Amino acid sequence: MSDPLNLLDLDRAAAEALVVRLGARPFHGRNLIKWLHKHGVLDVTQMTDLPQGLRTALQQQTRVHLPEVVFTQPALDGTTKWLLQLPDDQRIEMVHIPETKRGTLCVSSQVGCALDCSFCSTAQQGFNRNLSPGELIAQVWLARHQLGKQLTNVVLMGMGEPLANFTAVVRAINLMTDDLAYMLGQTRVTLSTSGIVPALYRLRTASNVGLAVSLHAPDNALRDQLVPINRKYPLEQLIPACRAFVADDKRRKVTWEYVMLDQVNDTPEQARQLVRLLSQVPSKINLIPFNPFPGTRYRTSSPERILAFQRRLQQAGFITTIRKTRGDDVAAACGQLVGKVQDRSRRQQQRAQATA
């Protein structure tokens, strides 16, 4: 027999379809979503405005499963990292970053990551599987339950490539932005991708969330090394897809993420190349000081080189910020999330053999 349906896997449309199949009315599905996400009630017997027959059917045929919180680890700067264990003993991480007027939750979309970006600690762990919609939205449920109004924004920038888990990610985003659930405006949810171009075009019609792109190089030769998906979807394909994503709204911009690697991608000439590359795209550029991890061959660009790179981009008219490193004392900073991955890609084994 198949496992009972996890109610957290349902967005509004799926909840309406379920309750109709069980003999109730579509609005009961909307009420179900409100109980689960807006009110945080997981026991269907306590959902008092659902018909008794529906509650009984839901109790018999469904379940609600939350990941187990293995530990909560606060950083000195107020950042908090959670390690979550899934039913198959895989572990993922999520991070909350508090600021003066907002609190941002960074959620994972996969166990590990298959894209193998060379500067990312998550990628070095290999890849096991996609998260289900319920496992994605459960991260928001847990954080909202613990943080309350401190949670104002969500970024899909944790473990994994969100567009490689397209259907589950879109369903979870639907709940994040649904007025019956988490009521996060679409400007408060951002998806970060390394650039799976066909899925970018699909996302444009499926969701209106903010778009961040892991760029990290101004030319194909270097990006092929840093972000291997570029070999399949080079800049000649990626840049038009990103331009199309924001084309219908003049207020929107693509956020380009650019990790600063000493003597690799931080020269004045590379800054000029980046200006030329992005000249036709409404853009914001986020320079990210590299966060080291054990075994990496990269070093962080010096503050002087990062500032000089920023000045050149600003002089060309780009909004350019330097991301403040948060949570690095508990390995919660950008590119440091590792969780616990039972690696089906055998990447860890291959690396061990290569260095033996």
Radius of gyration in angstroms for the set of CA atoms belonging to the chain, rounded to a whole number: 21
The residue among 130, 90, 89, 126 whose CA lies nearest residue 110 is 130
In the residue annotation, 93 being an active-site residue is answered as yes
Q: Helix, strand or coil for residue 106?
A: strand
Four-point Cα dihedral 325, 326, 332, 334, nearest 10: -40
HSE value, Cβ hemisphere, 13 Å, CA-based, for 104: 16
For residue 105, give the nearest of 159, 149, 137, 152 by alpha carbon.
152
Paired tokens of 210: 């903010």
Strand 91-98 versus strand 80-85 pairing type = antiparallel
Query: Tokens standing for 222?
Result: 């270097």
Task: Give the helix ranges, DSSP H, for 99-249.
Answer: 121-124, 133-147, 166-177, 197-206, 220-226, 235-245
**What is the spatial distance between Cα 87 and Cα 225, in angstroms, rounded to a whole number?**
35
Q: How far apart (Å, rounded) are the C-alpha atoms in residues 24 and 31?
A: 11
Q: Which residues have a Cβ under 8 Å from the Cβ of 90 and sit 6 or more positions away?
A: 111, 128, 129, 339, 340, 341, 342
Annotated catalytic residue: which of 93, 135, 161, 257? 93
d(C-alpha 51, C-alpha 39), whole Å:
18
Cα–Cα separations (whole angstroms), residue 244 to 80, 100, 237, 255: 36, 33, 11, 14
Q: Which of 117, 120, 242, 334 is catalytic?
A: 334
DSSP 323: P
Active-site residue flag, 242? no
Separation of alpha carbons 45 and 243, rounded Å: 48
Tell me if 275 sits within 8 A of 318, measured CB to CB.
yes
Q: What are phi and psi of 48, to 5 degrees?
A: -70, -20
Residues tagged active-site: 93, 334
